Amino acid sequence: MKFKHVLVLITCSFVLSGCSSSEEETDGDAGEPTTQHDAGDTAEQVEPVSLRVATFNGSLYRQESGQLIEELSDPDSEQPGQIAEIIQIKRPDVVLVNELDYDEENEAARLFNENFLAVPQGEQEAIDYPYYYAFPSNTGIPSGHDLDANGVVGTEEGTEDYAQDAFGYGRFPGQYAFGVYSKYHLDIDAVRSFQHFLWKDMPDHRMPEDFYDDGAIEVFRLSSKNHVDLPIDVGDHRLHLLASHPTPPAFDGPEQRNVRRNQDEIRLWHDYIRPDDAGYLYDDEGREGGLDENSYFVIAGDLNSDPNDSDEFGAIADLLDDPRTSDPKPSSEGGQHSGETRGGRNDDHTGEHKYDTSQWSPAVGNMRVDYAIPSSNMSVEDSQVFWPAPDEPHADLVTATDHRLVWVDITLGDD
């Protein structure tokens, strides 16, 4: 896969972006070629750099193609303004936004940046993200097969049959995708994307037996949206943002097709960060293997799995417990309060409510499903969930989405 590159002139310097009114296409990256600086690849001493990395499922998806662009064209749109205000409150240096509808021109990503993030929301200061990019997604891309085994192959965009039979659930191509906003340079030339990796090619995969026909198995992509290794140049260091949004482990039958897919989507990153286990992986450009063992990384996204209350095969627990990762266990007062007062399934959950990052119906309960998991070769200074208790400032903002922003403060090169 080749990503479209666009140069945008801002304050007399070129930066990579999605698109702009004054743009010219180029075959190269913005500015001079970037040299990769993974930890341990040079004997020179470089200065440590601290930054805040966040993940946020902002529910910036809509039911029809182009609808989000239309809404984001109006700077007074309420829900995008609330999402932007939360980001402005916590002010991450890098933020992954899940459920941001994708379009090839990155128009929705640009509009959210220019009309909302770069404009003061409420009493907050605007935040400047000169680098941003939204990534293609398997959602809404027709598979041509009956993936939900209901006897119908959905072909009409916008229908439930179409969404169920797409490679990732979506009523149109790009629904529920994701994008990244950053104060640091995004090296799009060096991106590794695993959008087309086939589920059957994962050793010991958990694909349900005797559910999909042979034709479906041959084309079924593992990633329900995308798995992206995005290198970010942070001072003289390189940070790999490993971004994804696995399918919810629900909405299936006794075959557990979504439960199993969710767990293998999480496992992809777990194998990717361990070179000895990543030999089977191939990206969309045909490059094989995983991440260098000395690299700095943060695994970020709505992973749709709670280590205590929805981790059917232990995939997220294994990832959090791996020696290559650190689990900062971000928490909040609001999560604790919500879990204690809403009742329903919350009363049966075994995980501590202060770690929850989502608030779903009482029939499902609140769970920890959103993560910013740093590699263990970095220092972790702090990590929290933005979920104010009802008597705390900004508590009214959390109703803008059923997820909460999760952030981690890390230092690269302090080892």
Instruction: Please state the domain extents for the chain.
Output: 6-139+174-412
Whether 377 contacts 413, CB under 8 Å: no
CA 275, CA 375: separation in Å to the nearest integer? 14
pLDDT at position 44 is 61
pLDDT at position 46 is 84
Whether 400 contacts 82, CB under 8 Å: yes
Whether 175 contacts 140, CB under 8 Å: yes
CA 192, CA 227: separation in Å to the nearest integer? 8
229 φ/ψ angles, rounded to the nearest 5 degrees: -100, 105
pLDDT at position 21 is 32
pLDDT at position 121 is 98
In which residue ranges of the chain is pLDDT below 50?
1-2, 4-43
DSSP string, 344-386: GGGGT--S-GGG--EE--TTT-EE--EEEEEBTTSEEEEEEE-
Topology adopted by domain 6-139+174-412: Deoxyribonuclease I; Chain A (3.60.10)
CA 115 → CA 72, 76, 144, 175, distances in Å? 7, 9, 38, 21
pLDDT at position 414 is 82
pLDDT at position 26 is 34
Residue among 165, 171, 312, 305 at smallest CA distance from 244: 305
Neighbours of 204 (CB within 10 A): 6
Mean pLDDT of the chain: 91
Percent of the chain scoring above 70 in pLDDT:
89
